[in-house]
Amino acid sequence: MYLNNGSVVRAMTIAGSDSGGGAGIQADLKTFAAFDVYGSSCITALTAQNTLDVLGIMEMTPEFVQLQLQSILDDIGTHALKTGMLSNENIIHVVAQTLQQYKITNIVVDPVMISKSGKSLLSYSAIQAMKEQLLPLADILTPNLPEAETLCGYPITTFEQCLQAAQDLASLGPRIVIIKGGHANEGDGPSSHVVDLVFDGENFTSFHSPRIPSHKTHGTGCTFSAAITAGLARGMNFLNAIASAKSFVQDAIEAATDWDVGNGYGPTNHSVAIRIAEGVVAGYSYIRKDGGWMRCEEISV
């Protein structure tokens, strides 16, 4: 187990259970294990789910969510924490309250709203609670494009709109916003690269990687945010944690391309070695120019 100053490094996830094992709590714990980080979990809802569909959802009561959080935090503690599927505003409320009460740091909020199979995982009325109560506590917010559109309240179809959306989301509280590009150009057929855009309140960095032509992408978002959380728990700075997470997701998609697990959007393969920011992920930084942003220097972290 990875140690930091002699202490076992711990990470925690607050999310829904995916009975199919590809997303949610199951993906998070597999990812923490791959990063050699001890994982604990608070389950917000059970989903009866496979690679094709979400057949049913059973929510926990807010009281039981709170009890799980207290039981972990009073005894085991955590060096970083992520949230995934939160289901409703009452759960969001107790989660936000408890994170404040225990002064949790290194909080990654993955604002899960819809499964790859198209089922809602967050009630519409919870979106405002997420914006008002949870986003101000987030160190890192990781929406995919449709989630960023819902939180911003406008469509994002160009790179300039994506730059604007990241700034608007940062104004709601998170220190760092990453808009993930997995869903880009879906309507127009696959594009050759997946671009994840990072805004840290002042500067932009974009991470580019080849788009893997695969349907084994169930849970990529959960895996990505869990990998960032594990990296933060291990003491990485945010750019290294993001770069390591992106490499991990890429390798996990690639390692699953031949898998025969399920008949729909199959899970990724978490049994891949982690690469700790070895300069493998190409990124670009941006400078302000003529009232906009210009891509300039290529970076590796």
Ligand X SMILES: Cc1ncc(CO)c(N)n1
Length of the chain as a residue count: 301
| Tokens, residue 76 | 């085991």
Within residues 77-136, the interface with ligand ATP by CB under 6 A covers: 116
Containing H/E element for 247? helix 238-254
| Binding-site member from 222, 227, 230, 241 for ligand X (CB under 6 A) | 222
Specify whether the CB–CB gap between 36 and 2 falls below 8 A.
yes
Within residues 247-266, the interface with ligand ATP by CB under 6 A covers: 249-250, 253
Q: Considering CB distances under 5 to 8 angstroms, the limit depending on partner class, which of ligand ATP, ligand X, none binds residue 196?
A: ligand ATP
Nearer to ligand X, 110 or 251 (CB): 110
Q: Considering CB distances under 5 to 8 angstroms, the limit depending on partner class, which of ligand ATP, ligand X, none binds residue 18?
A: ligand X
* CB 185 to ligand X: min, Å: 20
* CB 71 to ligand ATP: min, Å: 27
- Distances in Å between the Cα of 11 and the Cα atoms of 25, 53, 75, 175 are 12, 29, 13, 19
| Cα gap 193→225, rounded to integer Å | 20
Contact between 180 and ligand ATP by CB under 6 A: the answer reads yes
Specify whether the CB–CB gap between 270 and 279 falls below 8 A.
no
Q: Which of 30, 82, 131, 180 is catalytic?
A: 180
222 counts as catalytic: yes
Residue type, 116: K
Q: Considering CB distances under 5 to 8 angstroms, the limit depending on partner class, which of ligand X, ligand ATP, none binds residue 47?
A: ligand X
| Cα gap 42→85, rounded to integer Å | 11
| Binding-site member from 10, 11, 16, 66 for ligand X (CB under 6 A) | 16
Contact between 183 and ligand ATP by CB under 6 A: the answer reads yes
| Cα gap 173→211, rounded to integer Å | 31
